[in-house]
Amino acid sequence: MADGLAALPAPNWLGEAGLARCRRALDSRLTRETWKYSPLRKVTQALLDAPQTHAPPFADAPEQVRMRRFSALATPPAFKVSLDRYPLAGIAGAVAGDGWLVKVVETPDAPLRLQPAAPGVAAPVLLEVAAGCRVEIEEAGAGLSSFAARVVLLSLAAEAEVCWSRADLGAAAHGWSLLSAQLERNAVLTFNHQSLAEAFQRLDLCVALDGIGAQFNGTGAALAGTGAHLDLQVVVEHRGPHTVSRIKQHNLAAGKARCTFNGRIHIHPHACGADADLSNRNLALTANAEINTKPELEIYNDDVRCAHGATVGRLDDDGLFYLQSRGLTASAAQRLLAIGFLRSGLQGPFAKQAARAFVTQLSAANTG
Amino acid sequence: MSLLQVDDLHAGVDGQAILKGLTLRMDAGEVHALMGPNGSGKSTLANVLAGRPGYEVTSGRLSFKGRPLDQEAPEVRAQAGLFMAFQYPVEIPGVSNMEFLKAAQDSHRKANGLGPESPVAFMQRVRTLTEGLALNPEFLKRGVNEGFSGGEKKRNEILQMLLLEPTLAVLDETDSGLDIDAMQTVASGVNRFRSANNGVLLITHYQRLLNHVVPDFVHVLADGRIVESGGKELAHALEERGYAWLTA
Ligand SMILES: Nc1ncnc2c1ncn2[C@@H]1O[C@H](COP(=O)(O)OP(=O)(O)OP(=O)(O)O)[C@@H](O)[C@H]1O
Ligand SMILES: [Mg+2]
């Protein structure tokens, strides 16, 4: 067991039983499977050793957003996440000791800016978006080289819409985060994620489409350079009828990088008319990159549409020749194809900034 | 000095001989039509000229403006003024057509010791060319050839030719799959392009294009060799009689 885990006190909103469950789950077969490519022990230890940070998640939040510390609430909030699947969520919560309950009660006038994760373990955030509200969330990583961890549990009431854009463009960004979302009827969550990695970055994304017609759109692009260890774990639970998920993730390994993508789509028995589409494309510019991609499908209903694709490849020879035949040098042609590939996975307010960062990185690395 | 000189060229793919002693000479100011049955090696010649990887010259000579070509990288040939319009243009997702055209032009200018043209002047020129080809300006914003119809892809090839102003343009079946109006648009683009200083090698299956772009010479390629050459009337004879009388 990691040092300090046994002595970790349980906050009242997690409870001794909850924390004990997390400790046990660290050793489960499921955890070993989902952490197959990442150093669970090291991350657990980093969580236990990291300082706590209790800054409010949103600075200058408008009046439509109400933030309270867990410790200031009359009754402890429900920490709604599967501790069996995400034991680190409970451990991070216990390390932080306190958390933030954030309620969006009306549509804010402007995008909410989530404070960049500071070094250490951030207080977990329960973010509740009221029925019919539309929220844009922008999260620009600080690119810190010290370990940062954050847990956000998001719930969207009926007809609520959240568009969340995250950019981790400081190559040194290093850490683990969990975004777990639960969607009621016709709620829509869009998550755009772009990352430029040269260190360990793990993202667990878990979306429960509970209500009828709930929808998740996830788009991501990652450029992984030497030293990068990018691990994206996505789980979508289609529980309600006519729920929709669209996932597109483009990963480019430019040096001696390690990229893992695990996309799991689970269609439950009541999810008739569910429509799921997941595509993960990976390109390796060098021979010493390691790419792991594992699509997983579990379908318990016949009346569904499900497309699932994962590819690992190199830059397209025909494309390279086409560009060279127009005068571009081989390295310029490779760069343009690579940036085109990444751009196809960019979406949202950080898309331009990310594309620029990718171009700069690819030019500097002269990877192609 | 000829623009293009191909002497007794033998070339192929994967050790399979496709061109078997092809000889062709073109001078500036000339338009040559290259016709021939499917599989006779027309696209292979175009690809060998453009330097496509995998196409090997096993013997013979190949020179462009007096300089041997066969060791040159594709981009060096392009920068020297050789252009091939692809029979099957390639889609490049995530790279806008405008960005692609700019990169292509910049690479040509750089090879000639010039910096990039001002973006405003460049865009203006591209827009004018686009209009001339009856292409919607929206095409400039879309991914290169991405989701373009067959005819749009072919017009996009002509757009690149007009922009880059090569000295030798090899057009591989640019007329295939075009409707009658598009064919005329493409033909007038080629006619605008042709001049005393450049040459055009038109690979085609159809007389119809040659009514609009009148060639100085017509060649018939069969089984990797030129089996007949003549003036524009040869194309008419082919239209009436097919290839059998030449290849028998
Ligand atoms: N990359 C390749 N790999 C294998 N065979 C090839 C390749 N390129 C061409 N060939 C073969 O070489 C022969 C000539 O092909 P080519 O494409 O040059 O013909 P073409 O005259 O352009 O025909 P078409 O009129 O149908 O376009 C064909 O038999 C073709 O299958
Ligand atoms: Mg052909």
φ and ψ at residue A60, rounded to 5 degrees: 50, 45
DSSP state for residue A94 in the 8-state scheme: H
CB contact under 8 A, B100 and A339: no
User: Which helix (H) or strand (E) segment is A101 a member of?
Assistant: strand A100-104
Instruction: Enumerate the residues of chain B whose CB falls inside 8 A of the CB of residue A324.
Output: 51, 73-75, 78
φ and ψ at residue A18, rounded to 5 degrees: -60, -45
Q: What is the pLDDT of residue A366?
A: 56
CB contact under 8 A, A327 and B78: yes
**Parallel/antiparallel/unpaired status of strands A134-140 and A161-168:** parallel
User: Which helix (H) or strand (E) segment is B156 a member of?
Assistant: helix B150-164
Catalogue all structural domains in chain B, each as residue range(s) with its CATH number: 4-247 (3.40.50.300)
Instruction: Enumerate the residues of chain A whose CB falls inside 8 A of the CB of residue B156.
Output: none
User: Nearest Cβ partner of B90 from A318, A330, A343?
Assistant: A318
φ and ψ at residue A363, rounded to 5 degrees: -70, -45
Hey, is the C-beta of B75 within 8 angstroms of any chain A C-beta? yes
Ligand 1 atom closest to Cα of residue B205: 25
φ and ψ at residue A313, rounded to 5 degrees: -155, -170
Distance from Cα B40 to the centre of ligand 1, integer Å: 7
Residue nearest (by alpha carbon) to ligand 1 atom 31: B39
Q: Which of A160, A100, A163, A116 is nearest to A137 (CA)?
A: A163
**pLDDT tens digit sequence for A29-63:** 999 999 999 999 999 999 999 998 889 999 889 99
Hey, is the C-beta of B112 within 8 angstroms of any chain A C-beta? no
Q: Is A241 helix (H, G, I), strand (E, B) or coil?
A: coil
DSSP structure string for A136-149: EEEEE----SS-EE
Say which residue, B139 or A364, is predicted with more confidence.
B139
d(CA A102, CA A98): 13
**Parallel/antiparallel/unpaired status of strands A52-53 and A120-122:** parallel
What is the pTM for the complete model shown?
Answer: 0.91
Q: Which of A242, A259, A266, A256 is nearest to A310 (CA)?
A: A259
CA angle B27, B29, B35 (to 5 degrees): 70
CA angle A13, A14, A17 (to 5 degrees): 135
Ligand 1 atom closest to Cα of residue B36: 21
**Parallel/antiparallel/unpaired status of strands A229-238 and A148-156:** unpaired
Residue A195, both tokens? 């990352």
Amino acid at A275: D
d(CA A65, CA A47): 29
Ligand nearest to the CA of B172: 2
Q: What is the pLDDT of residue A368?
A: 38
Which residues does A290 contact at the CB level (< 8 Å), separation at least 6?
A: A253, A257, A258, A259
Which residues does B4 contact at the CB level (< 8 Å), separation at least 6?
A: B24, B25, B26, B49, B63, B64, B168, B199, B201
φ and ψ at residue A86, rounded to 5 degrees: -125, 65
* Domain tally, chain A: 1
Amino acid at B31: V
User: Nearest Cβ partner of B93 from A328, A330, A344?
Assistant: A344
CB contact under 8 A, A325 and B53: no
**What's the ipTM?**
0.96
Q: Ligand 1 pocket by C-beta < 6 Å: which residues?
A: B 13-14, 18, 36, 38-44, 54, 87
Average pLDDT value over all residues in chain A = 93
Distance from Cα B39 to the centre of ligand 2, integer Å: 7
- The tens place of each residue's pLDDT in chain B, 248 residues long, gives 799 999 999 999 999 999 999 999 999 999 999 999 999 999 999 999 999 999 999 999 999 999 999 889 999 999 999 999 999 999 999 999 999 999 999 999 999 999 999 999 999 999 999 999 999 999 999 999 999 999 999 999 999 999 999 999 999 999 998 999 999 999 999 999 999 999 999 999 988 899 999 999 999 999 999 999 999 999 888 888 888 888 76
The answer on pLDDT for A97 being more than 90 is yes
Say which residue, B107 or A295, is predicted with more confidence.
B107
Give the confidence band of A3 by pLDDT, cuts at 50, 70, 90.
Answer: confident
Positive or negative, the Cα torsion across B57, B60, B61, B62?
negative
State which residues form the domain around A68.
Answer: 2-364
Distance from Cα B87 to the centre of ligand 2, integer Å: 6
Hey, is the C-beta of B74 within 8 angstroms of any chain A C-beta? yes
Q: What is the pLDDT of residue B247?
A: 73
Distance from Cα A150 to the centre of ligand 2, integer Å: 57
Which residues does A143 contact at the CB level (< 8 Å), separation at least 6?
A: A168, A169, A170, A171, A172, A173
User: Nearest Cβ partner of A319 from B92, B104, B108?
Assistant: B92
d(CA A20, CA B98): 59
Give the confidence band of A254 by pLDDT, cuts at 50, 70, 90.
Answer: confident
State the distance between the two ends of chain B, measured CA to CA, in whole angstroms.
35
